[in-house]
Each structure stands twice: as C-alpha cells, then as structure tokens.
Structure 1
C-alpha cells in the first residue's frame, strides 16, 4: 500500500473510531514524563482499547545530543487486551510519523476549504515532511511554500516535494512571513519555543496545523492567533496540562468529526497538536492489519 493510500485509510479509521465511540471506550491515562538531572526525559504513553482488543505503550527517551540538539528513541510494545498475550513491538518513529500524517489529513479535510490549493510549511524536518504527506493526501495542491532556519534543509525538502509530485510548484521562501502569506493551509513543525513571525495576511478561512514545540507558556504561533481562531486538540486535558490555558476553549477531535464541516471551512481554524496515545493505538492496529510483524522495524513513509 502506498504512503498516501495508507494515510487516507488510517485517517478514516481515526474518524470512525471517534464517531463510533471506540475512542471514548479506551482507557488513556495522561502521559507520564520523568526527567533526570541531566535533562534527559523518559516518556510513557499507554492506551487500552476493548474494541481493538489491544494494549499499547509508546515509551521514549529524549536526550541531548551535543551539536545535534536532541535525539528521540521510541518503541511501542503491543499486547492483546483480552489475554495479555504479547503481539510484537513497533518502531516508535514509524508509528508517530504515520499517526501525525493521518491526523493532519483528518483535521485538514474537515477544516480546510475544498478548493484549498496553497500549502505553507514552516520547518524542514521529519514532521514537516509528514505535513506535506498528510495535506497532499486530501487536497490537490498546486503550490507548496517552504521556509526553514536552515536554508540547506529547506532546499533538500523542496527537492523531495518536487520529486514526489512534479505538478506542484515548490517555492523555497526567505522568511516565515513569506511562506505563510495568503496560504490556504499552513503547517508549523519546528522546535521554536517562541511564536514564529507568521504573516498578518492570513485569509479568514486559513487552516493551521501547529505540530511542533510547545510549553504551557508559548508555542509556535502567537497566542492572539489562538484566541481569534477555532482551536482543535486531540485531548483537552492533555492540551491544557502541556500547552497551557490558552487551549481551554478548544474542541476535541470527536466534536470535530461529528460536526458539519461547513461550520469550520469559512473560519480560521488551528489544530494545536499535543499528541495522545489513543491515536497511536489506532495507528498500531492499522499497521498490524496491513503488515507482517517483521516489517514494523523497517517501516517508513517516503514522500
């Protein structure tokens, strides 16, 4: 199955899980984070689903890598919920990347105008690539604008996008303001701990996928933009705990998928992602249905 097809299938599985109540029947505690004296973080994100007969726990470490920022290592062991039988272990990066592309497709399809053709991406790392994959899976893009603090990374990313879809006009921009000016969909996927200089010339109907760094005090987009937009989150409890009270009036994904899309498509919307294990579980269930166990460690999502 192609990457685009897999993203579409998984996005539909997520939508059905939210609409049917399967997500509501899951047991999903707040993620646990432990930090040691060196600043290394150890994460645990468990979830149990009676509908999928599945228990997973995405465990990860986030450690400093001198000269290279941080490194993230993660795995996802899976068990049958009814028997406790061990089913296998998935590569955490493959699960996370596919999940992010699929939830981006799901939310963007509900929020972005059907005629959306111009995508701006701020960032050039792994998550930026999942943003192109997710948005292009559900909209026929004619232009993709890219800006990154690293011009070399931006150029390499632009080359990959052009190779993936030669019909798209790919523009490497000289600023975040240029990359975001007048776009139909904007995706931010950076490690910035302060708001990015996003253009003031955002259309009233723009949809924004905010996927990168966040704290309880700030995230990649200005708080004023959050206050003037319809904000969508995976889980309200997690969003407030990890991204602050600025998310307290947000709607959750189950509300999004059970509301007429017309209620969102002519308004400014922001998907302020903080992640939640129920989406990891649905992703694991989909991968288990599509692949043999030996494929999990080598699974990738090329553009």
Structure 2
C-alpha cells in the first residue's frame, strides 16, 4: 500500500466515502450475497494467535483474506504485537490484485463503520464526545465520529495516565488539521469522561465493565470497540440490556461476546425505514468485527488508488 493511500484513509473525506460505500453495500444486498465463513483462530499454547478472515463478494469481484499474527507480551517481551496483511484477488479471473497492509485496512474500516453507525444513531446536534482509551482504536473513534458530527468538545480518559495527555494532543492536532476548533479535555476518571456526553466511545482492553457515569442521556449513542469475550466486556450487562444493541454479524457477536448480544440487530437495520428513530433511543454499537467490512474497505482503497498494494 502506498504512502498516499495510507494518508488518504486517515482523512475525514475518505472515512465518509467509505462509510457511504458500507451503507450502500448493506442497502443493495451486496453484503447478503457475500460468502463470509467464520474467522479461524489458531492458538499455539504460548499465547500467540494466528487468525484468518476470508470473504468473497461477487458484486465487488473481490476475494480477500485478512491474515494476522498476534504475539503475546510474554513471548515478545513487550506489549502484544500484531502483524496483518490482506491479499486480494479478482473473483472472475483469479488474478492476484495485490496485498494490502492489514493495520491500515482495519483502522480505516473501524473509523468508517463508526461513522456509519454514529451518523444513523447519534442525535444530529451532538457536540460532545467522550473517549475512554488512548490507543490506535481510540484515535479511529475520534476520526469516525468527527467525520459525521461537528464536535466542540472531546473528553479523554486513559487507564494509563501517562498516555492521556499525548493522546489528547494528537486529537487536538487532528482537529486543527481538519480546520475544526475542538476543546480536548483530559479527565481523571471514566465517570468524568462519560458524564452527560452526547456520544461515548470505549476502546480499551478492559475485561471488566468500565466505571462509566450513571448519568447518561436517554438518547446517548455508544461505540463499544474494545475487548470482549463471552464472559467479559467493557460495558455493564444492564446497559446492554436496556439499550438498542447493533452488531456487524449476530452469529459472530453471540459466539465471541456472549448471549447478552442475542437480541442485537445487525448493521443492515440502519438502512431500513425505521432507522430514523434510533436517534431518540439509547444505542450501543458493540463491535466484534467481520470480514465483509474488511472486503468493502479493500475494494474502496483499490478503487481510490492506482497502486494500492505491494505486489509479491
């Protein structure tokens, strides 16, 4: 993937364009016509994981397989390291189109699907965003939300206090480059960062529910993008139970995040006639990821860059 393509995927214009492509693929039935088997994860007993996420789309004439390795901290001697690549092929000819950088594809996908869901679910005049987390996915949350809402304030809390201020500066710089005047505030707790906000994004590795504020607006929209298992999650079970929960794929959500997601709606509900009512309700986008969004992202990158991949 070229430097130009990587830079483009970080722009608000690209995020809005990709979010639109995702919405159209859901609305047209292109997603329903894709072949997307469950992801495969192999663990070697040392904490390392090897992941395969294939998807085939006749509409996009594209077959991709996002493959990744995750090396655990006790193996690498540092924080977990992730290496991902996405080989892409033409369905009709079988030709190898190239290999895209997996991290860039994932980041663009996460920002765009956040923009898509936030635009459908958050009230139109949302101005205050709370972000709990300070890593790469927290950054994508700002990019995705700010692409579809004119924010005036972002409240940031990181469980690692050393990372909060640098992350806040990064957000402020991104806003400045985009020509926006956004007040970025570093908070002392998750409760403070979430109190009374219009939109809340969580992007942490927490395996226990975060201590977010009990004073959440009745129509708040929450993007839950961080850690999840069938036994643990970032948000309290009661909050999920009393909210409209939206997921990429229901079977994946139940398998990976548990039965608390059994009543969730899938993303295509956002393209239906009843989607206008979501802004009046409390909504939670509980992301577990799905390869069909990676495929749409790859197709969009390929369409927007003459040489989007590194061939080999």
- TM-score normalized with structure 2 length: 0.93
Counterpart position of 2:144: 134
Note if 1:224 corresponds to 2:238. Answer: yes
**Equivalences for 1:40-51 in 2 at 5 Å?**
40-51=48-59
Alpha-carbon deviation of 1:296? 4.2
SS of residue matched to 1:34:
strand
Q: Which residue of 2 aligns with 1:83?
A: 93
Structure 1 position 63 matched with structure 2 position 71 = yes
Partner of 1:179: 193
CA distance in 2, matches of 1:217, 1:29: 24
Count, aligned residues: 296
- 1:301 corresponds in structure 2 to none
* Residue 3 of structure 2: aligned partner: none
Aligned match of 1:22 in 30, 45, 58? 30
Paired residues for 1:89-238 under 5 Å:
89-166=99-176, 167-238=181-252
Task: Give the stretch that moved more between structures: 253-262 or 281-290.
Answer: 253-262
* Cα distance in 1 for residues equivalent to 2:170 and 2:208: 28
- Give runs of ≥4 in structure 1 deviating > 2 Å: 65-69, 259-262
In structure 2, the gaps of 5 or more residues are 1-7
Instruction: Give distance in 2, aligned partners of 1:228 and 1:68.
Output: 39
Query: Could you give the per-residue CA deviations for residues 166-211 of structure 1, whole angstroms, max 9, x where no partner exists?
Result: 4111100000000000000000000111110010000001000000
Deviations 1:214-237 (A, max 9, x none): 000121010110000000000000
- Cα distance in 1 between the residues matched to 2:135 and 2:119: 23
**Alpha-carbon deviation of 1:259?**
3.5
RMSD: 1.1
The superposition leaves residues 71-126 of structure 1 with CA deviations (integer Å, 9 ceiling, x where unpaired) of 11100000001121111000000000000000000000000000100000000000
Q: Are 2:291 and 1:277 equivalent residues in the alignment? A: yes
**Preserved contact between residue 269 and residue 275 of structure 2 (Cα < 8 Å):** no
Task: For residues 34-57 of structure 1, give each alpha carbon's deviation from its aligned partner in whole angstroms, at most 9, with x where no partner exists.
Answer: 111112111100000000000000
| TM-score when normalising by structure 1 | 0.95
CA distance, structure 2, for counterparts of residue 259 and residue 68 of structure 1: 48
Deviations 1:234-271 (A, max 9, x none): 00000000000000000000112214333110110000
The separation in 1 between residues aligned to 2:273 and 2:116, in whole angstroms, is 13
Deviation string 1:5-39 (CA, Å, 9 cap, x unpaired) is: 00000000000000000000000001011111112
What's 1:300 paired with? none
Q: Which of residues 266, 275, 295 is equivalent to 1:252?
A: 266
